[in-house]
Amino acid sequence: MKYVGHLIAVGMPFIAWSAPAHAYIDPGTGTLIVQGLVGSFVAVATIGGLYLQRVRAAIGRVFGRPAGAEGDELE
């Protein structure tokens, strides 16, 4: 937070004096961006679920619940 004012002071001239790009995003590019976002969300959710399952199994072992106990497996 100490350098936020410096970053704003340096960054504002770049934004203020930038030239227009005269570019657009066509529907194919927009679809590609949406597909990447959805894929990223699914990948993060899957990896998070796998690690959550490992954490639950480790906590179960600490508190004496066997690994194959009822409710550990996903249905």
At 75, the pLDDT band (50, 70, 90 cuts) reads: very low
Residues comprising the chain, all counted? 75
CB 37 within 8 A of CB 45: no
- Residue 48 CA to residue 54 CA, distance in Å, equals 10
Q: What is the mean pLDDT of residues 24-37?
A: 89
In this prediction, residue 46 carries a pLDDT of 95
Instruction: Report, as an integer, the average pLDDT of 53-57.
Output: 90
Token pair of 17, please?
Answer: 């004096």
Cα distance between residue 12 and residue 42, in whole Å: 36
What is the mean predicted confidence (pLDDT) over 44-58?
A: 93
| CA separation for the pair 58, 50 (Å, rounded) | 13
**40-65 average pLDDT score:** 91
Residue 61, pLDDT > 90, answer: no
